[in-house]
């Protein structure tokens, strides 16, 4: 019998040139470039270009790429009408999943598999997701959506569309770096979902819709919002130890801790801590950061022997909280960034396609004799 690998743990299912992760040493590289360098020197647009084309752009290439994104930022009247028609309490992640799917219906190239059409869809998906989220957030608050600003970059334009005001330089840069950090991460669950969808030769919108639905889960992108709720519930540094001990005793997961690949602290968590310090230098220290650091200390003490350390979601929650972003936008913002990784993977899947179709180990009943319905009885029905 073929060996069983529950959850595909440790299984290598394909080759990729996009992302390198060393989970033991805590290394992450996009197309060969270290995440620390990208966080220090790059912008989200440049990183998205790198993921899409496999090389860093020249000035001219980056200008063209950024321009293409700007051209596709605006939502159509119908898309805005749909946002207005949705229930105001609809979770933004579900709205995003639905609107990405709906966008395909208005795109004449949606089912065109040509490389050029797919390239256009990459621009449209990266460009539109921030507008969908910012517009929906305003519609549900009964305020008018803010149109995209033509001269603002990708990250800062999102914050502008969300609040109607341009953020200060530090907030803008911190948010841009957060997007860089979340843009790509190998064959994680949502990227895998996108690649499975693409492997059937389904279209890019379907692949990204599948990925959004997968990212939503609490064990994946949904964890960042859970982290904030956990930190808020702990409320004070002095409560940390008893709270975390209680969670572990009840066999609950400590949110933002542990990772399928990293067996040490996620390199992105270190960078995020630096970003939090930058935000604190402008707006003052957030008490949640002290709680978070204590949670990290106690969790490593209690769980470190199992290889459980802070992952990217842990400090992202504090950073987004300090940026004033609503809790239920945390996970959709993960999608807003990760879309460039998803689309790079989908294009790679198309170029070297093999249908992804694993096998299961059947553990159900052996062969049974079919009984016609009027001859069936159940003991508990007699
Ligand atoms: C990310 C995650 C799903 C990886 O899980 P995985 O590789 O399938 O590992 P498992 O869930 O099988 O965990 C292995 C062991 O570590 C424990 N563990 C893993 N993460 C834990 C956490 N966050 N808190 C407490 N215990 C944890 C499990 O209970 C299990 O213990 P056991 O062997 O005694 O039963 C898991 O660490 C998790 O659920 N973390 C919290 C959610 C989160 O932050 N997700 C974002 C990931 S970027």
Q: What is the pLDDT of residues 292-343, one digit of tens each?
A: 999 999 999 999 999 999 999 999 999 999 999 999 999 999 999 999 999 9
- Please check the confidence at residue 179 and state whether its pLDDT lies above 80: yes
Nearest CA to ligand 1 atom 26: 253
Nearest CA to ligand 1 atom 5: 260
- Please check the confidence at residue 39 and state whether its pLDDT lies above 90: yes
Model pLDDT for residues 262-291, shown as the tens digit of each residue: 999 999 999 999 999 999 999 898 999 999
pLDDT band at 2 (very low <50, low <70, confident <90, very high): confident
Q: Is the CB of 302 under 6 A from ligand 1?
A: no
pLDDT band at 378 (very low <50, low <70, confident <90, very high): confident
Is 259 a catalytic site residue? Answer: yes
Residue among 154, 313, 321, 345 flagged as catalytic:
313
Between the CA of 372 and the centroid of ligand 1 the distance, in Å, is 46
Per-residue confidence (pLDDT) for residue 3, from 0 to 100: 86
Ligand 1 atom nearest 257 alpha carbon: 23
Ligand 1 atom nearest 307 alpha carbon: 16
pLDDT band at 146 (very low <50, low <70, confident <90, very high): very high
Model pLDDT for residues 52-105, shown as the tens digit of each residue: 999 999 999 999 999 999 999 999 999 999 999 999 999 999 999 999 999 999
Between the CA of 309 and the centroid of ligand 1 the distance, in Å, is 10
Chain-wide mean pLDDT for the chain? 96
Model pLDDT for residues 246-265, shown as the tens digit of each residue: 999 999 999 999 999 999 99
Residue among 154, 182, 243, 259 flagged as catalytic:
259
Q: Is the CB of 244 under 6 A from ligand 1?
A: no
Is 72 a catalytic site residue? Answer: no
Enter the tokens of residue 361.
């180990």
CATH fold of 34-216: Citrate Synthase; domain 1 (1.10.580)
Model pLDDT for residues 350-367, shown as the tens digit of each residue: 999 999 999 999 999 999
pLDDT band at 381 (very low <50, low <70, confident <90, very high): low
Nearest CA to ligand 1 atom 7: 260
Choices 1.20.210.10, 1.10.230.10, 3.40.390.10, 2.60.120.260: CATH for 223-322: 1.10.230.10
Residue 263, class by beta-carbon neighbours within 10 Å (0-12 exposed, 13-18 middle, 19+ buried)?
A: middle
Q: Which of 258, 307, 334 is the pocket-test mutation for ligand 1 (most atoms within 8 Å of CB)?
A: 258
Model pLDDT for residues 49-60, shown as the tens digit of each residue: 999 999 999 999
Model pLDDT for residues 104-130, shown as the tens digit of each residue: 999 999 999 999 999 999 999 999 999
Per-residue confidence (pLDDT) for residue 1, from 0 to 100: 55
- Please check the confidence at residue 241 and state whether its pLDDT lies above 60: yes
What gap in Å lies between CA 23 and CA 311, rounded to an integer?
11
| Secondary structure, 3-state, the chain | CCCCCHHHCCCCCCCCCCEEEECCCCEEEECCEEHHHHHHHCCHHHHHHHHHHCCCCCHHHHHHHHHHHHHCCCCCHHHHHHHHHCCCCCCHHHHHHHHHHHHHHCCCCCCCCCHHHHHHHHHHHHHHHHHHHHHHHHHHCCCCCCCCCCCCCHHHHHHHHHHCCCCCHHHHHHHHHHHHHHCCCCCCHHHHHHHHHHHCCCCHHHHHHHHHHHHCCCCCCCHHHHHHHHHHHHCCHHHHHHHHHHHHHCCCCCCCECCCCCCCCCHHHHHHHHHHHHHHHHHCCCHHHHHHHHHHHHHHHHHHHHCCCECHHHHHHHHHHHCCCCHHHHHHHHHHHHHHHHHHHHHHHHHCCCCCCCCCCCCCCCCCCCCCHHHCCCHHHC
Q: Is the CB of 259 under 6 A from ligand 1?
A: yes
Nearest CA to ligand 1 atom 44: 256
What gap in Å lies between CA 271 and CA 38, rounded to an integer?
11
Beta carbons of 204 and 233 less than 8 angstroms apart? no
> Which sequence spans correspond to the domains of the chain?
34-216, 223-322
pLDDT band at 380 (very low <50, low <70, confident <90, very high): low
């Amino acid at each position: 019998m073929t060996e069983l690998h529950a959850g595909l743990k440790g299984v290598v299912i394909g080759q990729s040139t996009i992302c390198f992760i060393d989970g033991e040493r805590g290394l992450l590289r996009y197309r060969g470039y270290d995440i620390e360098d990208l966080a220090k020197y790059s912008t989200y647009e440049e990183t998205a270009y790198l993921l899409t084309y496999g090389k860093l752009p020249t000035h001219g290439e980056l200008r063209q790429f950024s321009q293409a994104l700007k051209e596709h930022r605006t939502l159509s009247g119908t898309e805005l009408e749909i946002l207005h028609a949705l229930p105001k309490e609809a979770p933004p992640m579900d709205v995003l999943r639905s609107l990405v799917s709906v966008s395909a219906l208005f795109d004449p190239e949606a089912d065109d598999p040509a490389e050029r059409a797919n390239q256009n869809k990459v621009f449209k998906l990266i460009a539109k997701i921030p507008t969908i989220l910012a517009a929906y957030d305003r519609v549900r608050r009964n305020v008018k959506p803010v149109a995209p600003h033509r001269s603002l970059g990708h990250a800062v334009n999102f914050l502008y569309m969300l609040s109607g005001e341009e953020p200060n330089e530090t907030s803008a840069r911190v948010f841009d770096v957060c997007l860089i950090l979340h843009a790509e991460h190998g064959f994680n669950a949502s990227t895998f979902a996108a690649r499975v969808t693409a492997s059937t030769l389904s279209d890019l919108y379907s692949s990204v819709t599948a990925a959004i639905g997968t990212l939503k889960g609490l064990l994946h992108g949904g964890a960042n919002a859970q982290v904030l709720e956990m930190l808020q519930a702990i409320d004070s540094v002095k409560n940390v130890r008893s709270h975390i001990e209680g969670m572990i005793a009840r066999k609950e997961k400590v949110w933002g801790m542990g990772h399928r690949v990293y067996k040490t602290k996620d390199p992105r968590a270190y960078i995020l801590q630096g970003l939090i310090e930058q935000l604190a230098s402008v707006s003052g220290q957030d008490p949640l950061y002290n709680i978070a650091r204590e949670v990290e200390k106690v969790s490593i003490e209690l769980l470190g022997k199992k290889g459980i350390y802070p992952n990217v979601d842990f400090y992202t929650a504090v950073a987004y909280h300090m940026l004033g972003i609503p809790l239920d936008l945390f996970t959709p913002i993960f999608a807003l960034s990760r879309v460039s990784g998803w689309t790079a993977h989908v294009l790679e899947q198309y170029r070297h396609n093999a249908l992804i179709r694993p096998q299961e180990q059947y553990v159900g009943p052996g062969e049974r004799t079919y009984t016609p319905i009027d001859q069936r009885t159940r003991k508990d029905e007699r």
